[in-house]
Amino acid sequence: MLDLAVIGARAVTPSGSRLADIGIKDGRIAKVAASGALEEAAHTIDARGMLLLPGATDPHTHLDAEMFGSRTADDFESGTIAAAAGGITAIIDYAFQSEGGSLAEAVARWDDKARGRAVIDYGFHVALLDPSATAVAEIGRMVERGVTSLKIFMMRGFEERMREFLRAFAAAAEAGALLTIHAEDQHLIGYCTERLLSAGRAGVAHFAASRPPLSEAAAIARALTMTEATGAAAYFVHLSSAAAIRGIRRARSEGRRVLAETRPIYLYLTEDRFLEADGERYVGYPPLRSRGDIEALWEALADGTIDVVATDHCSWSLARKKAADRFTRIPPGMSNLETLVPMLYSEGVAKGRITLERMVDLVASNPARIFGLYPRKGAIIEGADADLVVFDPDAKVVIRAGEMHSRADYDPFEGFEVTGWPRVTLSRGEIIVADRKCLARAGRGKFLVRAPFSESRS
């Protein structure tokens, strides 16, 4: 007998969307069958009129992180509850290496934060901040442990230690680690920031001018030169501009295998938000851009130039965001784990910008493939983890911070009316969210050992 059956939904499988019944046994998908063809189940979810999606994987989160002398609002409990409520069933968070510290210590610290708190499965990238010879020598051991990706910040002393970073790139290529690259040019940012501050333009209204699209495009070109020299694989995080997209397309036209990610704020919000009374709430790196950049990103989502939409969830209280005396001291980031999937459906699928199948690629199948989790995660196929989302395509939800599960006290999309919302989220066959209420116990999430990066899988 099956443990659970989900019947009657239009399921998005690797072969396309179709009516199907899903049988679950021991936390995995045991059967994908035609309607009415499943064996008996102990429990049944009647999902007629609903969509059935694979649970999303968000490969870019910052939970329980310390930045600018403060700790983010969400830890691994509240953050993963918000994720589950939005249809995300796995995350990959960034473990930050301390100055002079080892990569193993970084992963151990982050595992201590997640274990006993996370309600969904989780993995880690390591943010390589100090590319010492000792740290570079650890890269292979990290991959053996299932931590198969590194974060490179190009605006944190990157230029001064470029030769050491080149050695790290080469070690990553040899070990099968993927480089996730924050591409902003530190010298261009420094030059623009100096000019603004010397002219007394320190308020948030001038933030976007301090980090122009040229900074992003220049850093992408520099990073691609370095990856070409070392053979490393590059995944560019949170791309925000038409200039960045042109850089990715140019590299691919030259036969380069380059992966690209964007985040929700760049799809729905423009730099005009910085002119609002509480414009600090929208500060993230890179900044919000123009309406033209938004349209370029949507085109890139539709044509496959962008591979993944991830949140870069990094939540703060509004008071903390507004406490800074100039834009350089505003902690970057915001809460958006809970809204990733429904807003992409509402603004993308429901409005005809992308297909339903493309949406599933962007938030589920592609991140699972790229980050070594497929086919355990990211697809409705027999043998996969039963990470499933019963999604109501007709639900109408107005986003209100007070109704979200993040501990942040504001939402960047406050007041947006969304069409489509998760009704039930299952993780390994267990119902963890139903009708926007979390039913999961803290600590049920498991650490995900990920496979080395492979271009054939990605």
Mean pLDDT, residues 245-272: 97
What is the torsional sign of CA 207, 211, 213, 216? negative
What span, in angstroms and rounded, lies between the C-alpha atoms of 80 and 337? Answer: 8
Residue spans per domain, the chain: 2-53+385-438, 56-370
Q: Please answer whether residues 260 and 249 qualify as being in contact, where contact means their C-beta atoms are separated by less than 8 angstroms.
A: no
CA geometry: angle 90, 93, 95, nearest 5 deg: 150
The pLDDT score that the predictor gives to residue 191 is 97
Average pLDDT, the chain: 97
Domains 2-53+385-438 and 56-370 share a fold: no
Q: Which residues pair with 17 in a beta bridge?
A: 12
Tell me the CA end-to-end span of the chain in Å, nearest whole number: 36
Mean pLDDT, residues 432-455: 97
Q: Alpha carbon of 219 to those of 184, 187, 291: distances in Å?
A: 5, 10, 22
Q: What is the pLDDT of residues 93-121, one digit of tens each?
A: 999 999 899 999 999 999 999 999 999 99
Two structure tokens written together for 439: 């039913």
CATH architecture designation of domain 2-53+385-438: Roll (2.30)
Q: What is the pLDDT of residues 157-191, one digit of tens each?
A: 899 999 999 999 999 999 999 999 999 999 999 99
Residue ranges of E strands in 308-362: 308-309
pTM, whole model, 2 decimals? 0.98
Q: Name the residue among 161, 154, 223, 226 with its Cα closest to residue 190.
A: 154
The pLDDT score that the predictor gives to residue 335 is 98
Q: How confident is the model at residue 68 (pLDDT cuts 50, 70, 90)?
A: confident
Q: Alpha carbon of 263 to those of 4, 48, 199, 344: distances in Å?
A: 34, 31, 32, 10
The pLDDT score that the predictor gives to residue 455 is 79
Q: What is the pLDDT of residues 318-347, one digit of tens each?
A: 999 999 999 999 999 999 999 999 999 999
Q: What is the pLDDT of residues 403-427, one digit of tens each?
A: 999 999 999 999 999 999 999 999 9
Superfamily covering domain 56-370: Metal-dependent hydrolases (3.20.20.140)
Two structure tokens written together for 66: 């310390």
Q: Which residues pair with 93 in a beta bridge?
A: 61, 124
What span, in angstroms and rounded, lies between the C-alpha atoms of 101 and 116? Answer: 25
The pLDDT score that the predictor gives to residue 194 is 98
Residue 458's CB is within 10 A of a number of other CB atoms, namely: 18
